[in-house]
Structure formats: structure tokens, C-alpha cells
Chains A and B, each alone.
Chain A
Amino acid sequence: MLARSVKAARLATPLRACYAPANSFSLRRNVTTDAASSHADKDAVPAEDDKKFTVNLSPESFESYKIEGPSTEVEVSKNDLKKMYLDMVTIRRMEMAADKLYKEKKIRGFCHLSTGQEAVAAGMEHALTPEDHVITAYRCHGFALMRGATVKSIIGELLGRREGIAYGKGGSMHMFCKGFYGGNGIVGAQVPVGAGIGFAMKYLNKKNTTFALYGDGASNQGQVFEAYNMAKLWDIPVVFACENNKYGMGTAANRSSALTQYYQRGQYIPGLKVNGMDVLAVKQASAWAREYTTSGNGPLVMEFVTYRYGGHSMSDPGTTYRTREEVQRMRSTQDPIQGLKQKILEWGIVSEEDLKSLDKQAKQLVDKEVKEAEEAPFPENTPKILFEDIYVRGSEPDFMKGRTLEETHYYRE
């Protein structure tokens, strides 16, 4: 198979150790990824929509490092469960709409979908307040929606419309709203930024945390470790949350990471590994992490074990580095939406018809806003729009030269 000379092989031997084939141990992920592994006593479910009751998560929902993890008893209400379901369905609908628009060549360039990973964005939002902060990388549409962006502004951004969340000038990985800092195309760059946001919270005596999200691929960037160190050194309220979907682009986690237990990578920072396919486990873990970090304990490293159904991006079929069977198995047996649906019906939270009406509600919302986004105008190609937002208002130069005299843009008119 290898057409190299014997001499070359000898030279290269020291490097060979890096290429140990994948073994079953390193692929093993200890927490469950079962999305329907929690239990509740159907008779104990209250009749009232807003009254809390106890759900017992699977004992395999968490695994902790240097700390005792959260309780597996989650307090939720019927309303909470319905909202979680609606949130996840809406994210998936929106991602499917983006997928369709991309394939119709209406969205161009870069587009990374989070289909399969909805439980992380939805569950996390149910544990946070609007004053908390979230910053993530390029798979950001779901988080932006959860943080309060509209479907229209997200899809509008992907379509490059003026009403997009970044005025159509950013695209897929450039989405910002209150408490949400993007959306970043440089892998790992968001993590130290998250630590800085956390530091500001501490400095201002605000009891708010920051979730700095990154993928298993990004976890090997140097700046991630630099951020860990600063955060621990200064006891910054920040949660370093790794979304481990098993593949960093086309490379399996164990082929890129010497330690695939990402929750232990903080070394001197306590860690928690979470079933990222179960929205209730995500909520419980996130609420616990929020409490821990805002109580003066310093940072925390989390790992959400999750899975993306699609490729890394729209032009990756996602089947060249993993088997179709693997994707199919995750889709059919571990789906976060189906998992919650099963539990909602099992516990008699709402009827199947009610769930269908929630599905319909999500579909109608997404369809309507996608339509509006498609009808929204492109930004005008005027110097005023091209040159906006590059200098703080009041500090601009007098003018920016255009191609002709007429196109020259004067900041101070």
C-alpha cells in the first residue's frame, strides 16, 4: 500500500506512534447518549401546567472530574417540557429551511447546521437568564435563536439581506444579539473572549456566568488552554463547554486529541461530562454549572456528548469519515426531539395531538419568517452602507474615497 522507499520508512518511524489506529477504548464515550433515558412517575405529574415535578435522569447522564456533579433529579413543569420541545423543533425546522435554501443556491458560501445537536442549545437556554452570556463558534444558528434572535434575522443573514442579524455582511457564522457574542469563524478564538466576558462579570459584581462553547476539534487550539489558565488563576465565572460531536471537520476525535475526555482537559479545573442528547440532562447540568461558577468557585469545563447528523458543512456529505449506519443509528435511536417526545407522551404531559400542534406551530413560524426573509431587500450597494460600522461614530475620517467623485463617502455631511 505504501510506495515509499525502505529508507524513508526508517526515517519516518518516530512519527509512527502518532498514527495508532483507532481502538475501541478511545472511541468509548462513558455517559449515555440516550435521549429518552429519564424516568418520572406518571401519577406524580401534577395537573397544573406550571407546577414543578421531579424527573429522574439516567445515572449515566453525567460523569464528573474533581467534583461531585449535579443531582440526577430535575425539577420541571409541564410548561417547561412543552417549551423545550417547541424550542428544539423550531431549531430543527430552521436548520432544515437553511438546508433547503442552500441547496436552492439562495444561501451561498458557508453554512454549518446543528441538526442533531438541538438539545444543547435548547437545554442550556432553559438554565440561563437573559443576563448570562453565550459565545460559540460557527455552528451557531440554534444558539442565536435561543438567545432571542428571530428566525427571520438568522435566515435573512444567511441570505445576505439588509434585515439579517448582521445586515447581510456576515453570513452563517456571524450572529450577535443581547447576551450572545457569535458566531466566530476562527476555530477556538471565541474561548478566551468568553473568559474576558466572564472576568467583566466578576469585576462588575454581577452574578452572571458565561458559556464559552467550542467543538471537540477546537479543543486542541492553544488559546483554549490559555483561557483555562487565566480563568482558574483569577477564578473567573466561565463555563468552558465543549460540544463533542465526535468529529472535528472530517477527523474523528480520537485521531486529533490525545485525551478525548474533554471534560478532564482543564486539569486543574473541575469538569463535567453530560449526555448532550437529552435536553433535561443539559438543562440540569447547565443550571448546576451556572450556580457553581457564579458562586465564586471559578471556572468549569463541560463536555456535552452530542452528534451532528449532517456533514461538517453544506458541502460535506458527512459520510466519508463515518458510516451511514452510524448516522442512521444515532438518528433513529438517540434523537433529542424524539426522545423528549417519547417521554412527554409516556408521562402524559400532553396528548399526541397537542404535540402535533406544537410541530405545526414551529413549522408555521419558520415558514412565515423564512418567506419574509426571502422577500427582504438586499443591502443597497452604496458607499454609506459599505463603509458603515468600521469606525466608532464620531471617530471616522472625513471621507472614504470611492471609484468616482460621486461615490466618495463623506462621513460628516
Chain B
Amino acid sequence: MMRSVVPLRFLRPAFRATVPFSTSSRRNHAQGNLEKRKLNIPIDFAASSYLALNSKAAFSNPELPSTLSTTSKTKRMNLFQAVNDALATILETDEKACIFGEDVAFGGVFRCTMGLSERFGGERVFNTPLTEQGIIGFAVGMATQGHTALPEIQFADYLFPSFDQLHNEASKLRYRSGGAESFNSGHFVVRMPTGAVGHGALYHSQSPEGFFMGTQGLKVVIPRGPIQAKGLLIAAARGPDPVVFMEPKILYRAAVEEVPVGEYELPIGKAEIVQMGDQITLISWGTMMYVCELAAKAAKERLGVSVEVIDLRTIRPWDKQTIKESVDKTGRCIVVHEASRTGGVGESIASEVQERSFLRLEAPVQRVTGWDVHMPLVFENFMVPDVARVFDSIKKTMEY
């Protein structure tokens, strides 16, 4: 059948995942001298409390089924391995599930589909031509026939040729067919790597989740780490709605957790409070969670501010209830995301918060986002919110 597995780290356009936050000898001129930095220090993922670094921490997650901790062990995995594990689980338990995309049979650019073609056969895990619109249209057709379609778009930046199929076909199918069962595009998850990596520039570092704020009928999920990715991906594939699943590409190798080996689902449409606090609500997702963690820590230490940090996880439809309850409690709210400010998800959250919690607010809702420019090659770290910017926003909000 297909040829033997080859470790592909390359592919269109070339990509090498390096962590811009790492203490690389490559000095980043846009961020200044490392020794002088106080807030924008390299992120140590192994010290993050948002990742479960041992089995006990992993199983203490109340969202996991309680039976899991007695029947299952954990395994150390990074994000791409967890995605791979989830995909294998889906293929194992659902014989109609198929994975397809550009070079996925060889493992894909980020190795998320490594070994799956060998294990499940070239009929179920197969390469497509470079044809994004075709891939998604094809997936919609499969899904209408009861298949679980798991297409991959190689980079979220390549999503746009297929945007029509997502926005006009996948998302509208149920509605326009009056909900007839055979015209359903559920069991459909489009996976794609998203976000900045430090040097991806205009076509490999964008975060296009905001474009889906105007799309009804699609779900958009962005996990912050391996445990989340596995549970959310399995839930997405088994759910009745089409899901856009964006995996922060910088975290593929950087975020490592002890992931339960058994199958489990995590709730889609529900935000997670990852850190309790009572003075300010910090909302983010994906890579920016770790920036928020450091900013919240700095705010505690320097300003004595108690920050509640929320991982939104599902970007559309986002969990308005959890956010409202938190902002009603804290009276202050900041949204942090990588994508540009105008048209970003932060706009939607800020306006909803204002409508729902106006009388509770002590300060205007702040947004810390990418600037309204394209993702520039040399200024990528400058474009993406850093700890100093989030900290500054916390300080300003508190002093308002």
C-alpha cells in the first residue's frame, strides 16, 4: 500500500518549529537584551501550573470521567503526540473515520498523523493534492454520508481557499436542509496548526479564528495543551456539529503533559477557570495562556492583584456564562489574543461583557492583541502580546 513511514518535518512551505521563547543564543533584536528583561523572560513550560506535570495533577482535573483515574495510566506526551493519540483513538473506535490532507499519510508537517496510515491503512489515512477548497468540500460530502471526516489544513493560513466550503457549505448544511438527518455535516473536524512561531511571517503565523465569529453553525476550538487537545479533539469528532480545531503550532513540542492513556472527552463550549482570583478576569486561549500566567504572577507579586485566568478553549460559541460570572465577581476584564485587534475575538467578548456586566464593571474591558498590521517576518515577537503588555494592561485596569 503506501510506502513506509518517513519522518517529515518539512513540507510546504518549510517549517521548523523552534520556540521563540526559548533561551536561544540567537538574540532577538526585536526584544532586546535577554539579561535586562524582567517581565518578558523565556517561558518555562515545564513550570507552568496550566499543564499537568504528573499523573496526580492530570487526574485531579474534575472534567475527566472519575472512572478514568482507576482504570487508566498516564503517558508523557507533547501536543502533537496527544493529537496523534486522539486521532488514533477516533480511528480505532469509529470505523467510518478518515483522515486526509496534504502529506498526512507521511505524518504531516508537524507529525500529528505519524504512523496512522501504517496502522489503519492507506484507505483511511491518505494524502490529498494541494487543494484546500477541494479537501473541505470533499469532507462535507463524506460527512453527509455518515463518515467522520477529519481533514487537515496544513497551516491555518491556507484555510482561506476553503473558507467558502466551511462558511457556506459545512456550517449551513443542517439549517438549509431543515435539519434532515441525511443532510448533516457533523462528525467533521478540520484540524489546522495556528498562531505565531517567531519567524513564520505573513503566511505561516496568522491566527484566523476571528474570521469565524461571523459564521453560524461552526464550532471553533483551540486547546492550550496535550490533555485538553486529546479530550477536545475526541469530543469534536464525536459531536454532531462541524468543528474547526486549531492547534497552536508553537505548543506542538513545547507543551508537555502527563496525558491519561484511556479515551476521554472534554466539554466543547465550556471555558475553564485555570486560576481563581477576585480582582480581575484575564481571558485567553492557546499559546497566550502561558503569557497570561506569567503576567498574572507578576501582577500578584508586584501589585498584589488577584487575577482570575480563564482558558476560553471554545472560541465559537464561547462560554458567556462562565465569563459573566467571573466578571460579575471581579469587575474587571482583559482579553488577550495573538490575532490583530480589529475584527479579533476580543471585540465580541468585550461587547458582550459590557452588555451583560455593565453595572459591575470598575474599568473598561481591555484588549491586549496583535497590532493591526500583517504578521511581519522580523517583528513577529513584537506583534504578539508579551508579558509586559499584559501586565501593563492589568496595571492600567486596576488603576482606572
> Is B68 engaged at the interface, CB distance under 8 Å to the other chain?
no
Does B127 lie within 8 Å of A217, measured CB to CB? no
The stretch of B218-226, B307-315, B373-381 in contact with A is B373-381
Does B382 lie within 8 Å of A171, measured CB to CB? no
> Is B37 engaged at the interface, CB distance under 8 Å to the other chain?
no
Count of residues in B whose CB is under 8 Å from the partner chain? 64
CB distance from A312 to the nearest CB of B (A): 6
Q: Of residues 170 to 225 in A, which have CB atoms within 8 Å of B's CB atoms?
A: 170-174, 185-189, 217-218, 220-223
Q: Of residues 353 to 406 in A, which have CB atoms within 8 Å of B's CB atoms?
A: 378-379, 381, 386-387, 390, 400, 403-404
The majority secondary structure among interface residues of chain A is loop
Given contacts A4-B120, A381-B379, contact A15 B95 (CB under 8 A): no
Count of residues in A whose CB is under 8 Å from the partner chain? 66
Expressed in whole angstroms, the Cα–Cα distance for A168 and B129 within the complex equals 32
CB distance from A392 to the nearest CB of B (A): 14
For A1-26 the 0/1 string (1 means CB < 8 A from B) is 11111011101110110110000000
Does A217 lie within 8 Å of B129, measured CB to CB? yes
Q: Of residues 73 to 94 in A, which have CB atoms within 8 Å of B's CB atoms?
A: none
Residue of A19, A105, A173, A321 most packed against chain B (CB within 10 A): A19
Expressed in whole angstroms, the Cα–Cα distance for A371 and B96 within the complex equals 57
> Is A250 engaged at the interface, CB distance under 8 Å to the other chain?
yes
Residue of B12, B128, B388 most packed against chain A (CB within 10 A): B12
- In the bound complex, residues from chain A placing their C-beta under 8 Å from that of B26 are 105, 108
The majority secondary structure among interface residues of chain B is loop
Q: Of residues 351 to 400 in B, which have CB atoms within 8 Å of A's CB atoms?
A: 371-374, 376-379, 382-383, 388-389, 392
> Is A251 engaged at the interface, CB distance under 8 Å to the other chain?
yes
Expressed in whole angstroms, the Cα–Cα distance for A66 and B376 within the complex equals 45
> Is B118 engaged at the interface, CB distance under 8 Å to the other chain?
yes
Does B392 lie within 8 Å of A403, measured CB to CB? yes
Does B158 lie within 8 Å of A186, measured CB to CB? yes
CB distance from B370 to the nearest CB of A (A): 11
> Is B123 engaged at the interface, CB distance under 8 Å to the other chain?
yes
Does A248 lie within 8 Å of B161, measured CB to CB? no
The stretch of B194-202, B232-240, B258-266, B276-284 in contact with A is B194-202
Given contacts A5-B95, A187-B12, A313-B13, contact A255 B198 (CB under 8 A): no
Residue of A whose beta carbon sits closest to that of B9: A315
Residue of B whose beta carbon sits closest to that of A3: B119
Expressed in whole angstroms, the Cα–Cα distance for A317 and B106 within the complex equals 14
- In the bound complex, residues from chain A placing their C-beta under 8 Å from that of B198 are 108
- In the bound complex, residues from chain A placing their C-beta under 8 Å from that of B119 are 3-4
Expressed in whole angstroms, the Cα–Cα distance for A227 and B374 within the complex equals 27
> Is B175 engaged at the interface, CB distance under 8 Å to the other chain?
no
> Is A116 engaged at the interface, CB distance under 8 Å to the other chain?
no
Expressed in whole angstroms, the Cα–Cα distance for A108 and B388 within the complex equals 25
- In the bound complex, residues from chain B placing their C-beta under 8 Å from that of A221 are 130-133, 161
For B70-111 the 0/1 string (1 means CB < 8 A from A) is 000000000000000000000000011010001100100000
CB distance from B87 to the nearest CB of A (A): 14
Given contacts A186-B161, A250-B11, contact A390 B373 (CB under 8 A): yes
Q: Which of A2, A138, A218, A223 contacts B120 (CB 8 A)?
A: A2
CB-CB nearest 5 A-B residue pairs: A313-B14, A316-B10, A185-B203, A12-B123, A109-B199
List 26 contacting pairs A-B, 8 Å CB cutoff, sorted by A: A9-B121, A11-B95, A105-B26, A109-B200, A109-B204, A110-B13, A160-B377, A169-B201, A169-B377, A171-B201, A173-B13, A185-B157, A189-B161, A220-B134, A221-B132, A248-B12, A256-B129, A257-B129, A315-B14, A315-B15, A315-B16, A316-B10, A378-B378, A379-B378, A381-B382, A400-B372
